[in-house]
Chain A
Amino acid sequence: MSSPDLPLVAPQTAHPAPTAGSHHGTGKNQRVKRLSGFDRIAVILMVAIPTLIVVGLIWLPAISSVFLSFTNWNGIGSLADVKIIGVENYTNVFTNYPPFKPAIEHNLIWLVVMFVVATPLGILFAVLIDKDLKGSRFYQTALYLPVVLSLALVGFIWQLMYSRDQGLINAVLGTQVDFYGDPKWNLWAALFATCWKQVGYVMLLYLAGLKGVDASLKEAAQMDGANQVQTFFRIVFPVMRPINIIVLVITVIESLRAFDLVWVINQGRNGLELIATLVTANIVGEASRIGFGSALATIMLLISLVFISIYLAVVMREEER
């Protein structure tokens, strides 16, 4: 299919090559040459400063964590006298650290619940609110409200609901369930509280995306006899691809770095172990098992890398197309 507006010539001959020294030339080389000294400094600074920040704040700490994971450093004294102990920290993590296995399981459960419950629910709410139902502003605000609260605060709020002796849920139901203390319940209680927040976040992202979808697309689909569900899944959802990817990435990131809420509840112990809380419990605080904690952090980094690679692969394939 050729566009009728364009002359039928090869692209390189469509625009005549500019003559040397011409001030009207739009060739790429010339534009670069015309950068003044000041521009060049500006460009260098714009590249150098972010690079320094990224290297200094992200790469150096990450690489030193990996290095420290092979040592027994306790956080005291200079790095010169750390002892390198090989993979001992890793063997200890896998064979001699009972909280590690549950932590991996809980992170996976977290990811699945976020993916299967929180995200679809957020999308559903976004679609419903996008329909401009009566009072949709109210619903939107109510659902979005938890998002502005920090997860630490969310933990405290739900403590009031969940508390065994003084909580609302037990008072209303007349039960005595120990939501935060009983390992049978506390993971799900924490997940419920997280979803409460995450749903609003996903909803907002999706709502913003939905507002940008061309209404004529939906009309056309309806003219062709598609029902609401079909319109959404066949037309709206595919059109929203950029937002879908953002939501997916956010879901994965939020699940991997799940930490605050659980830390507030019981510092990630007794049924609420997560990798991030184990890292913190070992590194921060009086314990100072920096080497061991770094090994845990490195494992977390590797797991994250899997998801990051998948994401990058998808994005790059997209760009190649």
Chain B
Amino acid sequence: MNRPTTEAEYLAGLVPASAGRHGFSRRSMLRGSLLAAGVPALLAACGGNDTAGGGGGGGGGDVTLGSNFSDAVPVKAMNAMVADAQTKQGIKVKLNTVDHTTFQNNINNYLQGSPDDVFAWFAGYRMQFFAAQGLASDLTDVWSTIGANYTDAFKKASTGEDGKQYFVPTTYGPWAVFYRKSLWAEKGYTAPETLDEMVTLSKKMQTDGLVPLAFADKEGWPAMGTFDQLNMRINGYQFHVDLMAGKEAWTDQKVKTVFDTWKGLLPYHQTDSLGRTWQEAATGVVNKTSGMMVIGSFIGQQFEDADQDDIDFFNFPEVDSNIGADAVEAPIDGFMMSKRPRNEAGAKKLLEYFGSPDDGVVQTTNDPSGIAANTKSDQGHYTELQKKCAQFVASAKSISQFMDRDTRPDFASTVMIPELQKFISDPSDIDGLCTEIENQKKSIFTS
């Protein structure tokens, strides 16, 4: 190694040869300038909607529609809906599909930036929150057209805290206990009516070498479903609503009873649930290694077409006969209008279509995991399961959304997910758990 004669040579010697080679090559310069050129383009793309519908001017341009239905089957349904809306309403719709999780994670920035005229969202607290922040438009006049198509429960679920409607419901899917008909017929199981019967059934399944309750909570939200079911069976629908709205204390004995009951059921749940996704757990039901599963009707997406008729479900059993089992959890999906749509007339036309019976037919034909929210939608094409789901929800006295739709999103994701996971991995300290939840709830709900 020669002694460096200048400082530059010395410094050059410190740089590993492999790194030095790339120093300031033409290629990297080119890449840099491309990047520099790309940034403004990217920025322009973000605000692209400003110009996209500009051609038509006052109300004549495309209606932009932001959709979080990004999986194959829902995309098919959305495309069919858009095509149908364009012919029926005489509007042009530009569909922007964004990955489901990304859409939800960016919803704040999306709605404050330049959102699409109409966007897909959920009913309940999650809708009310954005309506209260002034990020969504009042749809009362759309409801005067479509209102007759819906039951009161759906109108209530579409109404903001100020009494105005902000949401057009399209489909929903109930949560219940799902199983395979053929497996149950073979083993001679019958649907339990009470929790005790469910425990007896679970024990029988265990002796038959089955996992009684398929269970997963890697994503954090599936366990919320079980909590909601138990809470509504033990304490009733109104308590669920008040607890989620932050009006009831989590340290209340009523909540502790829910956790206690759940603790008694945990031995029948599939173990190691925190490393498993709901799809993996559902596979156990599909493969007949698990007996049943508390999940939404979207479990149907995990079954082959040929097995669709083999799916069945029963209502989560009664725990307290005074409370009964007439509260059903059925999260509603639908659409909202952003605060300042560029093409308001077109957007309302599109929303009227979404609220029409035709939309329900198109959507549920293309994606049979959902049921049309619209009561006037023709149900002739429904599968056995869809028919049963529709009947099930229609007979319910009250309909809840889901924990993460009925409460503040920040509370659901930063408090309830970790705490429920903690409970599942170690259910021994229920008092401590409830105190932790309550303390965090206070700080979030009062902020």
Binding site for B on A (CB under 8 A): 72, 74-77, 85, 88, 92, 96-99, 163-165, 176, 178-183, 186, 204-205, 208-209, 211-212, 214, 216, 242-243, 266-267, 269-270, 281-282, 284-289, 291
Q: Which of B218, B409, B422 contacts A181 (CB 8 A)?
A: B218
Please provide the 5 A-B residue pairs with the shortest distance between their CB atoms, ordered closest to farther.
A181-B275, A208-B16, A178-B272, A286-B409, A181-B274
- Shortest distance between the CB of A123 and any CB in chain B (Å): 15
**Would you call B238 an interface residue if the criterion is a C-beta within 8 Å of the partner chain's C-beta atoms?**
no
Which parts of B213-260 form the interface with A (CB within 8 Å)?
Answer: 218, 220
Q: Is the pair B444, A98 in contact by a Cβ cutoff of 8 Å?
A: no
Q: Is the pair B409, A266 in contact by a Cβ cutoff of 8 Å?
A: no
Measured between alpha carbons, how far is A182 from B17 in the docked complex, in Å? 44
- Shortest distance between the CB of A242 and any CB in chain B (Å): 5
Q: Given that A97-B440, A214-B1, A285-B104 are contacting pairs, would A270 and B418 also be in contact in the complex, using a CB cutoff of 8 Å?
A: yes
Q: Is the pair B108, A288 in contact by a Cβ cutoff of 8 Å?
A: yes
Q: Is the pair B1, A186 in contact by a Cβ cutoff of 8 Å?
A: no
Interface majority SS on A: helix, strand, loop or mixed? Answer: loop
Q: Which of A164, A269, A288 contacts B418 (CB 8 A)?
A: A269
Which parts of B254-284 form the interface with A (CB within 8 Å)?
Answer: 271-276, 280
Q: Which of A92, A180, A186, A212 contacts B443 (CB 8 A)?
A: A92
Q: Please, which residues of chain B bring their CB within 8 A of the CB of A243?
A: 16
**Would you call B28 an interface residue if the criterion is a C-beta within 8 Å of the partner chain's C-beta atoms?**
no
Q: Is the pair B275, A179 in contact by a Cβ cutoff of 8 Å?
A: yes
Measured between alpha carbons, how far is A75 from B112 in the docked complex, in Å? 9
Q: Which of A85, A211, A266 contacts B16 (CB 8 A)?
A: A211
Measured between alpha carbons, how far is A165 from B214 in the docked complex, in Å? 13
Q: Is the pair B275, A289 in contact by a Cβ cutoff of 8 Å?
A: no
Q: Given that A76-B112, A288-B410 are contacting pairs, would A211 and B274 also be in contact in the complex, using a CB cutoff of 8 Å?
A: no
Q: Given that A85-B447, A282-B414, A286-B413 are contacting pairs, would A186 and B275 also be in contact in the complex, using a CB cutoff of 8 Å?
A: yes
Residue of A88, A99, A181 with highest tally of chain B CB at under 10 A:
A181
Q: Is the pair A180, B275 in contact by a Cβ cutoff of 8 Å?
A: yes
Q: Given that A96-B443, A178-B275 are contacting pairs, would A288 and B112 also be in contact in the complex, using a CB cutoff of 8 Å?
A: no
Q: Which of B19, B414, B447 contacts A281 (CB 8 A)?
A: B414
Q: Given that A98-B418, A288-B108 are contacting pairs, would A182 and B413 also be in contact in the complex, using a CB cutoff of 8 Å?
A: no
Measured between alpha carbons, how far is A270 from B109 in the docked complex, in Å? 28
Q: Please, which residues of chain A bring their CB within 8 A of the CB of B275?
A: 163-164, 178-182, 186, 266
Q: Which of B271, B425, B436 contacts A183 (CB 8 A)?
A: B425
Measured between alpha carbons, how far is A122 from B440 in the docked complex, in Å? 43
Q: Which of B410, B418, B425, B436 contacts A289 (CB 8 A)?
A: B410
Please, could you name 28 A-B residue pairs with CB atoms under 8 Å apart, sorted by A?
Answer: A72-B447, A88-B443, A179-B275, A180-B218, A182-B272, A183-B274, A183-B425, A186-B275, A204-B18, A212-B16, A214-B1, A216-B1, A266-B218, A266-B275, A269-B417, A269-B418, A270-B274, A270-B422, A282-B410, A282-B414, A285-B104, A286-B104, A286-B126, A286-B409, A286-B413, A287-B414, A289-B447, A291-B447
A-contact 0/1 string along B414-447, CB 8 Å cutoff: 1001110110010000000000100110011001
CB-CB nearest in chain B for A206: B16
Residue of A211, A269, A282, A287 with highest tally of chain B CB at under 10 A:
A287
CB-CB nearest in chain A for B440: A96
**Would you call B14 an interface residue if the criterion is a C-beta within 8 Å of the partner chain's C-beta atoms?**
yes
Q: Is the pair B425, A242 in contact by a Cβ cutoff of 8 Å?
A: no
Which parts of B52-108 form the interface with A (CB within 8 Å)?
Answer: 104-105, 107-108
CB-CB nearest in chain B for A204: B18
Q: Is the pair B447, A76 in contact by a Cβ cutoff of 8 Å?
A: no
Measured between alpha carbons, how far is A97 from B421 in the docked complex, in Å? 15
Measured between alpha carbons, how far is A98 from B9 in the docked complex, in Å? 54
- Shortest distance between the CB of B220 and any CB in chain A (Å): 6
Q: Please, which residues of chain B bring their CB within 8 A of the CB of A286?
A: 104-105, 107-108, 126, 409-410, 413
Q: Given that A85-B447, A96-B443 are contacting pairs, would A284 and B274 also be in contact in the complex, using a CB cutoff of 8 Å?
A: no
Measured between alpha carbons, how far is A287 from B126 in the docked complex, in Å? 11
Measured between alpha carbons, how far is A180 from B217 in the docked complex, in Å? 12
Q: Given that A181-B218, A208-B16 are contacting pairs, would A99 and B418 also be in contact in the complex, using a CB cutoff of 8 Å?
A: yes
Q: Which of B112, B272, B413 contacts A164 (CB 8 A)?
A: B272
Q: Given that A178-B272, A214-B1, A286-B410 are contacting pairs, would A165 and B104 also be in contact in the complex, using a CB cutoff of 8 Å?
A: no
Q: Please, which residues of chain B bring their CB within 8 A of the CB of A205?
A: 16
A-contact 0/1 string along B123-146, CB 8 Å cutoff: 000100000010100000000000
**Would you call B47 an interface residue if the criterion is a C-beta within 8 Å of the partner chain's C-beta atoms?**
no
Measured between alpha carbons, how far is A179 from B274 in the docked complex, in Å? 10
**Would you call B13 an interface residue if the criterion is a C-beta within 8 Å of the partner chain's C-beta atoms?**
yes
CB-CB nearest in chain B for A99: B418
Taking A183-B274, A289-B410 as given, write out 18 further A-B residue pairs in contact, using a Cβ cutoff of 8 Å, ordered by the A residue number: A74-B410, A76-B112, A92-B443, A99-B418, A165-B280, A178-B275, A180-B218, A183-B425, A209-B16, A214-B1, A266-B274, A269-B220, A269-B418, A269-B421, A281-B414, A282-B414, A285-B104, A289-B444
Measured between alpha carbons, how far is A287 from B218 in the docked complex, in Å? 18
Measured between alpha carbons, how far is A243 from B14 in the docked complex, in Å? 9
Measured between alpha carbons, how far is A178 from B271 in the docked complex, in Å? 9
Measured between alpha carbons, how far is A303 from B423 in the docked complex, in Å? 31
CB-CB nearest in chain B for A281: B414
CB-CB nearest in chain B for A213: B1
Q: Please, which residues of chain B bring their CB within 8 A of the CB of A285?
A: 104-105, 409, 413
Measured between alpha carbons, how far is A96 from B413 in the docked complex, in Å? 16
CB-CB nearest in chain A for B419: A98
CB-CB nearest in chain B for A179: B275
CB-CB nearest in chain B for A91: B443
- Shortest distance between the CB of A74 and any CB in chain B (Å): 8
Residue of B16, B18, B104 with highest tally of chain A CB at under 10 A:
B16
Q: Please, which residues of chain B bring their CB within 8 A of the CB of A204?
A: 18
CB-CB nearest in chain B for A282: B414
Q: Is the pair A178, B409 in contact by a Cβ cutoff of 8 Å?
A: no
Q: Which of B13, B19, B105 contacts A284 (CB 8 A)?
A: B105
Q: Please, which residues of chain B bring their CB within 8 A of the CB of A181?
A: 218, 272-276
